Amino acid sequence: MSSFWRRLSLTLEMIKFEHSVFALPFALTGAMLAWRESQFRTDGLGWRLFWIVVAMVSARSAAMTFNRILDADIDGRNRRTASRALPAGLLSVRFAWLFTLVATLVFFWASQQLGRICLMLAPVALAIIFTYSYAKRFTMFAHLWLGFALGIAPAAAWIAMRGTLDARILFLTAAVMFWTAGFDVIYACQDFEFDCTEGLCSIPRRFGVKNALLIARALHVGMIACLLALVFAFGLGALSLIGVAAVIGLLAYEHGLVKANDLSRVNAAFFTVNGYVSLLFFAFWTADILHHR
């Protein structure tokens, strides 16, 4: 049993389980907006939110582990990632596959609890998030693919709450896609030389680090535009606009941390700032929604 828990701990560390916080608040914001549209009906609300969280976390865990398995050889050749559990031999591929299977089954279970339509769409969601792992092998738009994989979470949460899709929630899907793609471009700048050597596709490799950082800024401007469109589409109030302002401030700080000739603070920009982006966004938007209940 001690060996099992050690391997489980290594797996959770490998997939950065704690980073589920990045997309989860946006998914829950989608759920809160759907709850608002249902006139704040409370029957079964707690359980529905619980299963949305389970579905989101299990899907991400399955996809991240699959990605680590698929990239194990590449990671082993990259000095930055060679110490990850699989290329370093600290974790067996067999255990990683087992974890992926279990997480996938949990995702299907949670989808079933959320209703027939969610269960029917579960394979589609998995196809989107699993195939991202192949994207950098053939397209520089892998960053946007990753963004879309996270961006479907708010739309999925809406469907879980309402049983149908409202086109307005796609503004939040687009916002999450642009946000994720932007910070992933920043993160990928660290591997510019490695990507060139290995022939992997990325925006930094295609345009260079300096231009990639400008593209990341443009993507984040796109995120803000989508959030403002969402505010007006749903007729939200001042608190949601304050939330957007907080996101703007944090993104400006993030871009100030990273320079083309100095990538030493990429981790602070990637991990810390983006965690605050999602949490503060959720806090202000939830406060706005509840304020008008």
What is the arithmetic mean of pLDDT over 237-266?
A: 93
How does the average pLDDT of the chain come out, rounded?
94
195 Cβ partners below 8 Å, 6+ apart?
188, 201, 202, 204, 205
What is the arithmetic mean of pLDDT over 55-81?
A: 95
The one-letter code for the residue type at 138 is F
Architecture of the 2-291 domain:
Orthogonal Bundle (1.10)
pLDDT above 80 for 120: yes
At 260 the three-state DSSP class reads coil
What is the arithmetic mean of pLDDT over 174-193?
A: 96
Give the integer Cα–Cα distance in Å for 185 and 208.
11
pLDDT above 90 for 20: no
109 Cβ partners below 8 Å, 6+ apart?
54
Give the integer Cα–Cα distance in Å for 191 and 181.
16
156 Cβ partners below 8 Å, 6+ apart?
27, 30, 55, 56, 118, 121, 125
Domain boundaries, the chain: 2-291
pLDDT at 126: 96
Percent of the chain topping pLDDT 70 = 99
Model confidence at 125, pLDDT cuts 50, 70, 90, reads very high
pLDDT above 80 for 271: no
Give the integer Cα–Cα distance in Å for 177 and 214.
17
pLDDT above 90 for 19: no
What's the predicted TM-score (pTM) here? 0.95
16, 171, 284, 56: CA torsion to nearest 10: -30
Model confidence at 42, pLDDT cuts 50, 70, 90, reads confident
pLDDT above 90 for 269: no
pLDDT above 80 for 2: no
Give the integer Cα–Cα distance in Å for 76 and 166.
44
The one-letter code for the residue type at 132 is Y
pLDDT above 80 for 114: yes
Model confidence at 1, pLDDT cuts 50, 70, 90, reads low
266 Cβ partners below 8 Å, 6+ apart?
186, 187, 189, 190, 257, 258
pLDDT at 291: 87
Alpha helices, DSSP H, located in the chain: 2-14, 24-37, 45-70, 72-77, 93-113, 116-135, 142-162, 170-188, 192-198, 203-207, 209-234, 238-257, 266-267, 274-291
